[in-house]
Structure 1
């Protein structure tokens, strides 16, 4: 079975590609090896942030305020964007959206800060060194959701 030059070149190219791929893997392996291995003393916990958020005291009132702000922004847009050219409508909409997002962030930041502080406090109390979001956990770990909810509702 005689091979043509084209077939030989394709085989050589494939072999070079394989060596190149393994060479690349070899270059990155030392970096992976330098990554901090899990310490045997580490313990992992997880928290369902959505559940904590839903259990936050006064969250429904806060969400109602945000919804009212959104409705007011929509009224503002409807009243002031009439007759504007499409580019100006978009610019006005973007401006309102940016202002709305900034106000929402201002309202929600204290909630997020308190939840984060509660997560850290519960983790420290339980001796947990790593906390994951519950959605990322497949198996194992300690669920601290109820403890975090208890801490933010006090």
Structure 2
């Protein structure tokens, strides 16, 4: 199933890139922090995507069981299992990508509004920073309401 670790890793790489290209932050820069997992889990479309993934997962599991039951060779069984697992991972990525993109856009929007110049994953910060997580979630909900 979905792991917030993928989004956190993606966001951490993006933040690291920003830090490397921007140099060291000046003393007057505002640093924001976010809980990316909370943002993803509270995205307006997350529940629907999760249900789709559960359905797809059940289908892939049934397909795998049927294919494995027909196969006697253990190596072939392992290949079938791996193929179905890869198919599920691709489906997950395809369904989650819009959520990640919308979350990233909402982070940028809120950061700009709040005058935040650098945004870092909350788990990487021991002290300080302006937590904009709830503002990002509200921005996502506002954008979702506009689409309806």
Q: Secondary structure at the match of 2:127?
A: coil
Shift of 1:84: 3.0
Query: In structure 1, how many angstroms separate the alpha carbons of the residues matched to 2:33 and 2:62?
Result: 42
Can you give the 5+ residue segments of structure 2 that lack an aligned partner in the other structure? Answer: 1-21, 143-148
Q: Secondary structure at the match of 1:81?
A: helix
Query: TM-score, normalising length from structure 2?
Result: 0.76
1:2-32 Cα offsets, whole Å, 9 max, x none, are xxxxxxxxxxxxxxxxxxxxxxxxxxxxxxx
Query: In structure 1, how many angstroms separate the alpha carbons of the residues matched to 2:94 and 2:114?
Result: 31
* Count of aligned positions: 120
Q: Aligned ranges for residues 1-150 of structure 1 at < 5 Å?
A: 36-82=23-69, 83-150=71-138
- Return closer, same or farther for 1:59/1:37 CA change in 2, 3 Å cut-off: closer
1:11-57 Cα offsets, whole Å, 9 max, x none, are xxxxxxxxxxxxxxxxxxxxxxxx93331232100011121112111
Q: Whose radius of gyration is greater, 1 or 2?
A: 1
CA RMSD of aligned residues (A): 1.5
Shift of 1:61: 1.9
After TM superposition, which residue ranges in structure 1, 4 or more long, deviate above 3 angstroms?
Answer: none
Query: In structure 2, how many angstroms separate the alpha carbons of the residues matched to 1:144 and 1:51?
Result: 11
Q: Secondary structure at the match of 2:23?
A: coil
Query: TM-score, normalising length from structure 1?
Result: 0.73
Query: In structure 2, how many angstroms separate the alpha carbons of the residues matched to 1:36 and 1:71?
Result: 47
